Amino acid sequence: MNSVVLVGRLTKDPELRYISGTGTAVANFTIAINRDYKKKDGTQETDFIPVQIMGKAAEFCANYITKGRLVAIQGSIRVDRYETQTGENRTFTKVSSRNIKPLDYVKNDNSNSNVDTSPSFEPAEGLDPNGFTAIDDEEIPF
């Protein structure tokens, strides 16, 4: 089974193109993923994974996913082999994605910097600030 799920940040905006003849949208981009461990000096290594996604998901990427966004990618690993003009055999590994999901939100650049645009959650009527309703012990059926 060839299945992979990755979570990382885009290193640049997706490049959108269309396949001639079919008109199918194809987006290419790279995500950066920190490795799980730190070196002795406290630094982490980062892997840069090329991703290709097709169809409506590619158009979604081009319109809504930008450099620095945290995304989850679901797809499969694909190894392409080719020969250079000098006759050298090369391989190129990428993720052929089927699904992409943004995991963060985009800040509105048009907003006033003095205004707090973070969501505010007020408890409903009758709830304490922690979101719980007070219950009398006599109302508990057990």
**Does residue 116 register a pLDDT over 90?**
no
In contact, 70 and 9? CB cutoff 8 Å: yes
SS3 string of 90-126?
Answer: EEEEEEEEEEEEECCCCCCCCCCCCCCCCCCCCCCCC
User: Could you tell me the residue ranges of all domains in the chain?
Assistant: 4-105
- Grade residue 73 by pLDDT with cuts at 50, 70 and 90: very high
How large is the average pLDDT for residues 117-142? 58
How large is the average pLDDT for residues 10-30? 93
Please report, for residues 33, 60, 62, 98, 119, the alpha-carbon distance to residue 56 in angstroms, rounded to integers and kept in the order given. Answer: 25, 6, 10, 10, 30
Phi, psi of 62 (to 5 degrees): -65, -30
**Does residue 142 register a pLDDT over 70?**
no
Beta strand 44-54 with 89-102 is parallel
Beta strand 70-83 with 44-54 is unpaired
Rounded to two decimals, the pTM is 0.68
**What are the tens digits of pLDDT across the range 46-55?**
999 999 999 9
- Grade residue 126 by pLDDT with cuts at 50, 70 and 90: low
Which residues lie below 8 Å from residue 87, measured CB to CB, with a gap of 6+?
Answer: none
- Grade residue 39 by pLDDT with cuts at 50, 70 and 90: confident
Q: Which CATH class is domain 4-105?
A: mainly beta
